[in-house]
Structure 1
Amino acid sequence: MSRSPKVVAIVKSANLWAAILAFGMLLAAASCTYRDSTEDPTQAATTANPRPKVLRLGTQDDANVPTRGQIEEFARQVEDLSGGGLVIEPVYRAGGDAEGGWDQRIAKRVISGDLEMAVVPARTWDTEGVLAFRALSAPFLVTSSAMISEVVKPDYARGMLAGLKDSGVSGLVLFPDGPRVLFSFTVPILTLADIKGMVIRAPLSATNYAVLESLGAVPRDLADQEFGEEVESGTVGGAESSMAYASNLPRALNRTGHAIATGNLVLHSKISTLVINDKAKAALTEEEQQVLQEAADATRDWASSLLSPLSSEARKYCENGGKVVLATDQQIAAFRDAAAQVYRVLEQDADTRNLIARFRDLAARTPGDPAVQPCDFDTY
């Protein structure tokens, strides 16, 4: 029996819709099969390209000074060695600007886990119950770039860093910085009489403060704004600092406007600790912990290779308008004699006493830096 043209058209239309429906069901089945085999697409992407672990590293520095360069180099080393799996995120001025004690606040932040890592000056730890680094601040002992590059090596650093045990952080390495000298905002500091009763701005440290007090000075830990105001008012007469940081000092009350450095009176040298919070460290794999250690070691060696003798830093300071004066041998001897009482306190601790002896032996066989040359007002 033949069908009418209208019926044929209806049948053809029905067959077409059936074919479309079947094709749609096939696509849906394929789609379901694809999702079942790969799980959630977002989760799959995360598995294939996991997010890097970010470790925040705190420091008080934010200018073009040694610490910042070391942190940037460490971050680069970590990223390279981990293939991007670990990222160091610097947190500058992590101790704040409102008041003194900023290094101690950074130490507390990393101990509490508020920061995963930090670069903390070794001098800081003696106010936090860690006494292992005090020999580094012993007066007139670690005073040259050659000495600095030696004491940060594992032979010396390992024992000091072990002193952080039970503090809540682990030490990775010591980073070198530079010799610390006295700067005056008025007249040069050449004798004990020049510094007697003078308020000296210095970062908080029990050992460093004991040294300054033995010389007759009054050490104070001042935030930047307060520091500048008290120099301008004449309340603060000087500062303990490195030549590399001298450009950050307030304007002096002399005709050059620059602080006067006593270039051959090195009290001690600034050396920093690179530390990691113990819980943050435990959350890393052994491989990741090894990456941090290797990066830290490489950064220490890199930083040591860049150390300049104090004479070079003093020359740069002079070229930028600063003033550098020199004390006589007799005047330096008087400063040393006055600070001898600090050793009697430090050497009551056996470990500190032994380390001081090792440093003295090292100093005796380590060549000194070239002599610092003075520059005077008339040059500028």
Structure 2
Amino acid sequence: MKKVLLAVMLLSLLVAPVFAAGQSEGTAAPKQVVLRLADNQPLGYPTVLGDEAFARLVGEYSNGRIKVEVYPQAQLADEKSAIEQVQFGGIDFTRVSISPLASFQPLLNALQMPYLYRDADHMWKVLNGEIGQYFLDSMSDKGFVGLVYYDSGARSFYNTKKPIYTVADLKGMKIRVQESALMMGLVQALGAVPTPMSYGDVYSALQTGVIDGAENNWPSYDSSSHYEVAKFYSIDQHTRVPEMIIASKISMDKLSADDQALIKKAAKESQAVEVAAWAEYEKKSEAKVRAAGCQINTINDQAEFAAAMAPLYQSQLNADQQAWVAKIKAVK
């Protein structure tokens, strides 16, 4: 009898864990996946608002199973370091300008050439069409998944001396540029003197006459207070350099095809939020500098400026990139 009872007890001990495991597997909630997105801009900036919309949509479409945590203000890394970490899977997503991204995928230079786009509508037709998708897809060879383009407006010239209407008006002016062969070549092609300089030094350089001018978009002209010392802003919109959210291919490959699809869908849909936020941001900045008494003029005929870029297109782009530029310009 004792042997029978002992056998029953042993059997129950063996069966109990199996049953418990079966219960646990049947009722346990799916494990949440947490992904991190890096941005170098502050809270409330248009790209960060876009990031947050993307994160919210991923949460909605996955019923909370996938959570995207947004880290603004370069909390995780500066722009270049964030790109490198995404490439190696240390960070899952980052929002960056395509300008530094072009050092990883040179083909992107074809999207940021001066006087390339006729206007904002032309740019968005390119970026949200087959050409733009090709460039997003081209990132996979470099360890990234290109998800979506964001807006960063257009850059124009401003200076301390006079309005700019023609290429001749720029002749001999010392213009601050980023440390970029493309931007130095652009300014030089227009007859001005390119002066590479740290962004933080530009205000005092304008104030003291070390440089005559610089170039940037409305929000930067405003937030840097450069409008206080360089009162002439000439709208030529020489460059439109898109932003992009990229994902780590390593991170994406760990997800199911369905989860990858919902992330791509959420990214595409977040674009509208960022673009609207950017437009509002620009309006406020423009209104502020106009109210401060800055002299604003628009260069309506850019043909002369664009024609001056021909040597730059030849020196900066290879044959493949030049072919893409031709396709971009042909988009109606």
- Mark the CA change 1:252 to 1:89 in structure 2 (over 3 Å): closer, same or farther: same
Separation (CA, whole Å) in 2 of partners of 1:276 and 1:70:
15
Higher-Rg structure is: 1
State the Cα deviation string for residues 167-226 of structure 1 (Å, max 9, x = none).
Answer: 121212222332221233x23461555463524143x554344323433342536354x4
Q: What SS does the aligned partner of 2:215 have? A: strand
Separation (CA, whole Å) in 1 of partners of 2:46 and 2:34:
23
* Offset at residue 323 of structure 1 (A): 2.3
* Residue of structure 1 in register with 2:263 after alignment: 292
Q: Does 229-238 or 116-125 show the bigger shift?
A: 229-238
* Offset at residue 246 of structure 1 (A): 3.2
TM-score under structure 2 length normalisation = 0.79
- Mark the CA change 1:96 to 1:50 in structure 2 (over 3 Å): closer, same or farther: closer
* Residue of structure 1 in register with 2:187 after alignment: 212
* Residue of 28, 51, 55 corresponding to 1:75: 55
- Mark the CA change 1:304 to 1:250 in structure 2 (over 3 Å): closer, same or farther: closer
* Residue of structure 2 in register with 1:180 after alignment: 155
- Mark the CA change 1:199 to 1:85 in structure 2 (over 3 Å): closer, same or farther: same
Cα contact 1:212–1:219 (8 A) shared by 2: no
Q: Which amino acid aligns with 1:187?
A: K
Cα contact 1:137–1:208 (8 A) shared by 2: no
* Offset at residue 333 of structure 1 (A): 4.7
TM-score under structure 1 length normalisation = 0.70
Q: Does 1:126 align with 2:102?
A: yes
State the Cα deviation string for residues 96-125 of structure 1 (Å, max 9, x = none).
Answer: 89xxxx533332232232311111212222
* Offset at residue 89 of structure 1 (A): 1.4
Specify every segment of 5 or more residues in structure 2 that has no aligned partner in the other structure, as ranges.
Answer: 1-11
State the Cα deviation string for residues 132-189 of structure 1 (Å, max 9, x = none).
Answer: 22222221122522123212214121211233233121212222332221233x2346
Q: Does 1:271 align with 2:242?
A: yes
Separation (CA, whole Å) in 1 of partners of 2:217 and 2:125:
19
Separation (CA, whole Å) in 1 of partners of 2:151 and 2:214:
21
Q: Which amino acid aligns with 2:83?
A: A
Separation (CA, whole Å) in 2 of partners of 1:261 and 1:201:
16
* Residue of structure 1 in register with 2:3 after alignment: none
Q: Which amino acid aligns with 1:240?
A: E
- Mark the CA change 1:314 to 1:302 in structure 2 (over 3 Å): closer, same or farther: closer
Counterparts of 1:27-38 in structure 2, within 5 Å, are 37-38=19-20
* Residue of structure 2 in register with 1:361 after alignment: 330
Counterparts of 1:1-380 in structure 2, within 5 Å, are 37-38=19-20, 48-94=28-74, 102-128=78-104, 130-184=105-159, 186-188=160-162, 190=164, 191-192=167-168, 194=170, 196=172, 198-202=174-178, 205-215=180-190, 216-220=192-196, 222=198, 224=200, 226-228=201-203, 230-231=205-206, 233-252=208-227, 254=229, 260-263=232-235, 265-304=236-275, 308=279, 315-321=286-292, 323-326=294-297, 332-350=302-320, 352-362=321-331, 365=332
- Mark the CA change 1:45 to 1:214 in structure 2 (over 3 Å): closer, same or farther: farther
**Larger relative contact order (Cα-Cα within 8 Å, sequence gap ≥ 6):** 2
* Offset at residue 87 of structure 1 (A): 1.5
- Mark the CA change 1:251 to 1:326 in structure 2 (over 3 Å): closer, same or farther: closer
Q: Does 281-290 or 234-243 show the bigger shift?
A: 234-243
Q: What SS does the aligned partner of 1:56 have? A: strand
Q: What SS does the aligned partner of 1:133 have? A: helix
* Offset at residue 317 of structure 1 (A): 4.3
Q: Which amino acid aligns with 1:155?
A: E
State the Cα deviation string for residues 74-113 of structure 1 (Å, max 9, x = none).
Answer: 111111111111112122232889xxxx533332232232
Separation (CA, whole Å) in 1 of partners of 2:94 and 2:187:
27
* Residue of structure 1 in register with 2:4 after alignment: none
- Mark the CA change 1:123 to 1:252 in structure 2 (over 3 Å): closer, same or farther: same
Cα contact 2:163–2:297 (8 A) shared by 1: no
- Mark the CA change 1:78 to 1:235 in structure 2 (over 3 Å): closer, same or farther: farther
Aligned residues: 318
Separation (CA, whole Å) in 1 of partners of 2:282 and 2:21:
65
Q: What SS does the aligned partner of 1:132 have? A: helix
